Structure 1
Amino acid sequence: MSEALNRFVASVDSLVEAGGEAQSDFWDKLGDAMRELVACDDWLPEAMAQPHPQYYQQYCLYADPDDRFSVVSFVWGPGQATPIHDHTVWGVIGMLRGAEVCQAYEITEQAPPKPIGKPERLESGHIGFVAPSIGDVHRVSNAFDDRVSISIHAYGGNIGKINRHVFPEDGGPTKSFVSGYSAPAAL
């Protein structure tokens, strides 16, 4: 693990040990740590930055041994996007390379998912947050149709093991899923 990622993991570990979201300055400190991590783009191993031609990749960079948090690189090929989904835990997203667009949604049982507000665009160095307490349902896409974008995510649990939900655009039945992780490319 690189020194930059080690510092970030140590910061998140300290925040989790101190009570996580219950702390009044949790979001500020978590955001500061992520901004520091994505401020420099020389630490991500090449194997964890490889796109797939058909769908985005989710590489595990660090998983806490007690599953209290995880750090992931999301590699977006040109034009790739997630379905509308939730997380069920807190998260911070930092843009390392390129840009992504995030559209938040409201979910009700009686209607299809409804967009909330305007799409948010994260450029390199920018951060965003998700959590059930502040807004947890969104769709994310690469802002570019002609190049790869990479974002770094930290979540309040091992995101590759957490049962989450996909919300079909047509209002069809909610689907449960566990994302797992992409296998890193062979060096």
Structure 2
Amino acid sequence: MVNRDRLVMDDGQCVEVEAVESDRQWVRPYRLYRFLTDLEDLLIGVEDNPTRLHLIRPLVRQLLNSSEWLHYNFLPPDTATGWSVLMLYNEPEFPITIQTVVWSPDRVSPIHNHGTWGVVAMLSGQEKNTFWRRSPTADHPDRIEWVGEELLTPGDILCLMPDAIHQVEAIGTEPTISFNLYGETDFQRRFEFDRDRHTAKNF
């Protein structure tokens, strides 16, 4: 399996970055609590989001390679919505959220950003991400335009800047499962976009 890493900038440009493995050798499994400690140390010492994401990616890959339970710790997709979210970690006063997210085949998410940096690591299935950027006009200040798309497969990691706008679609006949990590959300910057009505609303 070839691991591919990508970074989505605030303007919707998706660039491929080197897939870096952790250079640390662990005698014991790299458990979730160790990951969180390393993540906290990193976030305290680094404030630049692209640099943070560059340093977080190998930690995420090390965690997924060492913690097989994460690959099977998810909820079946809801029959009504076609998706599910299982919260693995969300502690008050600590700006980190960790989830596993499942999408049923052919389900499509709203167009949205996250209002924070994010890391999505594919565990199974295929997921098409479509990227957008703001393209305001005098009449439509929340207008967006299509930038591009990427197909994610197991082993791929997608990093998102806080204002990166994307849409997720599960491709194929099996549900997609991903490990999602997010920083502290600025809810005033988190939007769901309607490309046809040229509107955006907080969610």
Interval of TM-score (by shorter of Structure 1 and Structure 2): 0.7 to 0.9
Q: How far did residue 109 of structure 1 move?
A: 2.9
1:39 offset after TM fit, Å?
3.3
Q: Which amino acid aligns with 1:44?
A: L
Say if 2:45 is the partner of 1:18: yes
Q: Which residue of 1 aligns with 2:168?
A: 140
TM-score (norm 1): 0.78
Q: Secondary structure at the match of 2:128?
A: strand
SS at match of 1:16: helix
CA contact (8 A) 1:81 1:142 kept: yes
The amino acid across from 2:159 in the alignment is F
How far, CA to CA, are the matches of 1:45 and 1:126 in structure 2? 14
- TM-score in terms of structure 2 length: 0.72
CA distance in 1, matches of 2:157, 2:118: 11
Give the letter aligned to residue 96 of structure 1: L
- What's the counterpart of residue 5 of structure 1? 32
Of the candidates 96, 115, 124, which is equivalent to residue 154 of structure 2?
124
Q: CA deviation at 1:45?
A: 7.9
- The 3-state SS of whatever aligns with 1:79 is coil
RMSD: 2.5
Per-residue deviation, 1:81: 1.9
Residues 55-64 or 82-91, more deviating: 55-64
Change (3 A) 1:106 1:14: same
2:165 partner letter: V
Tell me by how many angstroms 1:68 deviates: 1.1
Q: Which residue of 2 aligns with 1:173?
A: 199
How many residues end up aligned between the 2 structures?
169
Mapped contact 2:73–2:100 kept (Cα < 8 A): no
* 1:32-60 deviation digits (Å, cap 9, x = unpaired): 11222333672138563321123321221
- Whether 2:83 is the aligned partner of 1:56: answer yes
Residue 69 of structure 2 is aligned to residue 43 of structure 1: yes
Matches within 5 A, 1:98-113: 98-110=125-137, 112-113=143-144
Q: Which residue pairs with 1:70 in the alignment?
A: 97
1:103 and 1:40, CA in 2 relative to 1: closer, same or farther beyond 3 A?
Answer: farther
Change (3 A) 1:3 1:27: closer
Structure 2 match to 1:97: 124
CA–CA distance in 2 between the matches of 1:125 and 1:4?
19
Give the Å deviation of 1:7.
3.2
- Say whether 1:31 aligns with 2:62: no
Which of the two has higher C-alpha Rg? 2
Residue 146 of structure 2: aligned partner: 115
Q: Describe the SS at the equivalent of 2:35.
A: helix
The answer (yes or no) to whether the contact 2:133–2:164 under 8 Å persists in 1 is no
Identity %: 25
Q: Which amino acid aligns with 1:60?
A: M
3-state DSSP of counterpart to 1:33: helix
